[in-house]
Amino acid sequence: MALGRGRADRRVDYWPGFVDALSTLLMVFIFLVSIFTVAQFFLSREIAGKQDQLTRVTAQLKQLADLLSLERATSASLEDQLSGLRATLRSAEAERDKLRGDTNAVGDAKGQIQSLASDLEAEKKMTSQQISQISLLNQQLAALRRQIAALEAALEASEKKEKESQTKITDLGSRLNVALAQRVQELNRYRSDFFGRLREILGNRPDIRIVGDRFVFQSEVLFDPGSAELKESAEPELDKVAAALTELANKIPKDIPWVIRIDGHTDVRPISNARFPSNWELSSSRAISVVKYLIGKGLSPDRLVAAGFGEFQPIDPASNDDAYRRNRRIELKITER
């Protein structure tokens, strides 16, 4: 029995050691959990603090962004102002250079440069000098307006005078036309009397006739063919004409500007010799011969005109001897000078 208990007493009991180990392990676990919890608490607080800092930093960044935008806008406005000031400065410098070229206005130029500099510094603030200049310009403008008003008044007076003169000119023109018409009628009356007197003097000859307002001599009555020398047989006829013209000259008033035009005409057949290269010379020479003869009979030279028409004013366009004879002629016409 004693041997049996001794064996039983020699068995090892592990359970208390296991419990102690488990208890120690549990305490360690609890300790680690506590440490983790504490660390988690402090970490949460740290994270919360960091979050608050991040929020504050974000707000500060937003404020800085707003300030940066405002600063940019201000910078743009200042840049625009700077550009305007630069343009004004360039204008001022150009004005200064212009004023420097005028040696007689150096003092005024300096004053204007100083005034422009003041304008730039005061951002286009009007100075007393500019006000004086505006006042001076207003005075000049008022003076100019007075001058324009005076010119308009003078123009109106001139237009009125011109209208009155135009009315007078129109009236004088009407009177002149009436007077001219009366003179023409009077001259026509004297012409009719003259032609009537010539018809009585010369008789009804076929080679001397009246055509409209002209007295016509056939060239054969006065000249030989191809000649500009008056025939002796033509002198009695021309003497009658000279007497009638002298009588007419004594009747027509001195203030009527009348003349007797002697026209020479030929036929279309050409003439060419040493004395008469063409029908122009022949017709003109015949008219001059008649004029000289009438002057020799006492007619005033200032009442006589000689003209040559050659073959270019025919009264009969036919091409036969009778037409040639009719176209060779001397015409006398009373007309105005």
- Note whether residue 329 is domain-resident: yes
* Edge-to-edge strand list for the sheet holding 214-218: 208-211, 214-218, 329-336, 258-265, 304-308
Write the pLDDT tens digit of every residue in 198-241: 566 555 565 667 776 788 889 999 999 999 999 999 999 899 88
Kindly tell me if the per-residue pLDDT of 291 is higher than 90.
yes
How far apart are the C-alpha atoms of 49 and 92, rounded to whole Å? 62
Domain co-membership, 306 together with 190: yes
Q: Quick one: three-class SS letters along 146-165?
A: HHHHHHHHHHHHHHHHHHHH
Domain co-membership, 331 together with 195: yes
- Note whether residue 204 is domain-resident: yes
Give the pLDDT confidence score for residue 176 in this predicted structure: 64
> Read out DSSP for 107-144?
HHHHHHHHHHHHHHHTTSPPPHHHHHHHHHHHHHHHHH
Which of residues 104, 125, 146 is at a domain's end? 125
Structure tokens at 233: 């047989």
Kindly tell me if the per-residue pLDDT of 108 is higher than 80.
no
Give the pLDDT confidence score for residue 1 in this predicted structure: 45
Task: Report the Cα 42 to chain-centroid distance in Å.
Answer: 96
Kindly tell me if the per-residue pLDDT of 158 is higher than 90.
no
Could you give the percent of the chain with pLDDT greater than 70? 74
Domain co-membership, 241 together with 324: yes
Write the pLDDT tens digit of every residue in 55-72: 877 877 787 777 777 777
Which of residues 125, 148, 173 is at a domain's end? 125
User: The domain that contains 288 carries what CATH number?
Assistant: 3.30.1330.60
Is 330 in a helix, a strand, or coil? strand
Range of the domain at 260: 186-336
Domain co-membership, 331 together with 210: yes
Domain co-membership, 203 together with 283: yes
Domain co-membership, 116 together with 203: no
Write the pLDDT tens digit of every residue in 10-56: 566 677 777 888 888 888 888 888 888 888 888 878 787 777 777 87
Domain count, the chain: 2
Q: Which residue has the tokens 């041997």?
A: 3
Q: In angstroms, how far apart are the furthest CA atoms of the chain?
A: 227
Q: Are residues 317 and 323 in contact, defined by beta-carbon separation less than 8 angstroms?
A: yes
Mean pLDDT of 76-105: 72
- Note whether residue 112 is domain-resident: yes
Kindly tell me if the per-residue pLDDT of 305 is higher than 90.
yes
Which of residues 107, 125, 143 is at a domain's end? 125
